[in-house]
Amino acid sequence: MYKVGPVLSISHGMGIPSVGILLHEVIKLMYHAKVQDPIFFRIGTSGGVGLEGGTVVISEEAVDGLLRPVLELPVLGKIVSRPALLDKKLQRELKLLSEPDELFQTLIGKTMCTTDFYEGQSRMDGAFCDFTETEKMDHLQTLKDNGVVNIEMESLAFAALTHHAGVKAAVVCVTLLDRLKSDQIHYPKEVLEEWQQRPQALVCRYIKKYLLKKGKILNNVDTSCCGAVCLKSPRRFKLVQQESESYD
């Protein structure tokens, strides 16, 4: 977990359980810290459905493996359904921050969230596969026909829990491959690393614009990078640096 000024950055593990636990703890943290109107972003990777690798997807809504925009959670032996909704205005604001001269596409679309990486995502390269290539392709085409543009494993819980808490939130992921063409990623490490920076860059633009508007950073600060622009005090920065080095 890292904190730079009013920005908190936290890594979570893979899947709904991991992001769910994290969100419960962070939402409690926001409450006890008396944070007003926080904005949550999930940044990550995904598999594209009809989209080439490197495409940035801003999730319009999150759906489960049955294409339902709800998170179903067993609570006290009963199923509790929570709508997985994301902020529409925030989606549009993020889309407007994409650069017109970028060599990749940034779009708003539906994200399918699964509880499994292999069979749940129609992959045929897991330990088990009880369906044919034709059945797999038919299913992926059905997803595309229903507006699904990417697949990952966290957005449903992220959308449902932030909506339940009344927190404005968005999901921004990059695609690492087109699932209509392959189950496996064949791109070099350097390419994948550059792709993974694309959602970060987009969200950074939003954060910097928001902080400038709120007067949290100076107008003459160079915001061309995503560095610690909120640490305006050199003395404070030096203390943080020394503190970090002492742990090393």
* DSSP calls for 172-201: EEEEEEETTT-SS--S-HHHHHHHHHHHHH
Q: What is the pLDDT of residues 80-118, one digit of tens each?
A: 999 999 999 999 999 999 998 898 999 999 999 999 999
CB of 188 closer than 8 Å to CB of 58: no
Q: How far apart are CA 189 and CA 44, in angstroms?
A: 16
pLDDT at residue 222 in the model: 54
Q: What is the pLDDT of residues 157-167, one digit of tens each?
A: 999 999 999 99
CB of 152 closer than 8 Å to CB of 116: no
User: Which homologous superfamily is 2-247 in?
Assistant: Nucleoside phosphorylase domain (3.40.50.1580)
Angstrom distances, CA of residue 191 to CA of 46, 98, 196, 232 = 15, 20, 9, 34
For residue 215, name the pLDDT band (cuts at 50, 70, 90): confident
| Domain residue ranges of the chain, discontinuous segments joined by + | 2-247
Choose among 138, 130, 140: nearest CA to 179.
Answer: 140
- The model's pTM is 0.85
Mean pLDDT to the nearest integer, 38-54:
98
Q: Which range, of 19-28, 177-186, 235-244, averages the lowest pLDDT?
A: 235-244
pLDDT at residue 216 in the model: 73
